[in-house]
Amino acid sequence: MFKKNSIHTFFVVPLAILLLANLPALSAIFEEWNSDGPYSHGFLGIFVVIYAFWTKRKSIRLSQNTTTSFIICTLGLLGSLLVNFVAMLASIQQLQLLALFFIILFLFSALYGLKTLQACALPFIMLFLIFPVWNILQFPLRELSTAAGQWGPELIGIPVGRDGYRLSTAGGLFDVEPACSGLGFFMVSALLAFFVSFINKLSQKKTLTFLIICLVIAVLANWLRIIIIIVVGTYTEMNHFIVHDHLTFGWIVFALCLLPLIYIARTYFDDSAVVNNKAVDSLPVKQVDVINKTHALTAITLLIVFIAATYWIPSRFNENYAFTVPTLSNYEMAGESKSYSPNWKPYSQGASKERFFYYVKKDVGFQVYLADYVKQEQASEMIFVENYLYDDQFWHDVEDKKLPLLDNQYLQQANLVVVQRSLARYRMIASWYVINGVITSDKKRAKLAEVQAALVGEPGATLVAVALDFDGQDSVLAEQQLSEFIHSYLNP
């Protein structure tokens, strides 16, 4: 057994080590908080969270975990560590951040006890709300916002056309980007709801009711912002300042919408006086004098083992890795290992080496682009949102689909994008991934292969892309020619 005075050290020191081991993840969090995106309230939010934990400091003391409770906490900690480890190897940032939060949560509960965790539930919820892991909500919110942007102006007689997330009126075009989904308003409102619940000591029922009110007002505020921008932009031919600085205007609208929320909270959602009179805000858990030695050492050992693995596993890689270019017997190589292409500008962030090769057969030419990665890290990876296979300043996307390949033991289909530059200039770009012998065009399978390759110490990977130019007249023939070339490339 350990004295109770050591319990905070047993939590704070492993927590500090955990955060140091996840510095790239912390950097990503701070970047999101420092941006104009939906988590720009993060720095304010962390002060709110710190204040909430400080207020509950008398409740953060030992409560005895039963064996069953500790097993639940330990399994939760183990599962979170595994998810964090796999997400790190696969460079899936949001999953890594999500796992990081639950590691902190289960480490706290394993050391302090589930009853103490229950007493600190609201501060942990508020902490969760400022973690940048909520992007999945952008899709439904964006869809709702686009719909509101269409029918809102129509209510006052402005016809609005819709093409996906693009709205058009007689006065201009309006793109409802993911940043326009209102996720920022949504998260701030949720944080406000739980903070009011914490300060005013609301019951669970009242907390849920106030949360719903806050979220509804957040959604309506974003709809109002979009509708006003479309209406004003239409009547001013896109010359009004709110059309160009819609982020600032949006926060002004949201701030005005907070006024009724503040009134509602003060008038209808304040149980603090009643709770204080009943002296309910005493210690919510039964205090014990010592920390369980077995529980503490088990939790900390798990943490240290996984932190050590996150350093050791990625340290094993071949710094000389490069994709072996096959020798094709039925295609002539017209250009070998060029470092750039004057008419093709794909981009692979963090690639160790980029190479271009040119092949011809009769009067048909093919370009092959190879992007090698000796190892992959967050934001320096083969599958990354900022990577692209063509420059959208010169080409525009015509079609995205799968290209069926000839009978092939390695790959049944490749990713295919068809782009156009002029009336008679089209390009087909087929691509796939190679990771430690695994050849696939599926991103999920590629991510899994990244993890497997990292575990065996061979994380080298390559993006392979093949481009074929054609006049746009016979796409079936072009697909056939491209498929034949890929078949030869995979089966030299």
Q: What local confidence, expressed as pLDDT, does residue 68 receive?
A: 85
3-state secondary structure (DSSP) of residue 490: helix
| Contact of 332 with 360, CB cutoff 8 Å | yes
For the chain, domain boundaries: 2-139+176-313, 332-490
Q: What local confidence, expressed as pLDDT, does residue 12 receive?
A: 86
CA distance 32 to 448: 26
Q: What is the pTM of this model?
A: 0.84
HEC readout, 333-392 = EEEEEECCECCECCECCCCCEEEEEEEEECCEEEEEEEEEECCCECCECCCCCCCECCCC
pLDDT digits 0-9 by tens, 273-318:
555 544 444 445 455 555 667 778 888 899 999 999 999 999 999 9
Give every residue of the chain whose pLDDT is below 50, as ranges: 1-4, 277-283, 285
DSSP code of residue 285 = S
Q: What local confidence, expressed as pLDDT, does residue 102 receive?
A: 97
Number of CB atoms found within 10 A of residue 259's CB: 9
Q: What local confidence, expressed as pLDDT, does residue 250 receive?
A: 80
pLDDT digits 0-9 by tens, 18-56:
998 888 889 999 999 998 889 999 999 999 999 999 998
CA distance 118 to 106: 12
Burial (Cβ within 10 Å: 0-12, 13-18, ≥19) of residue 220: middle
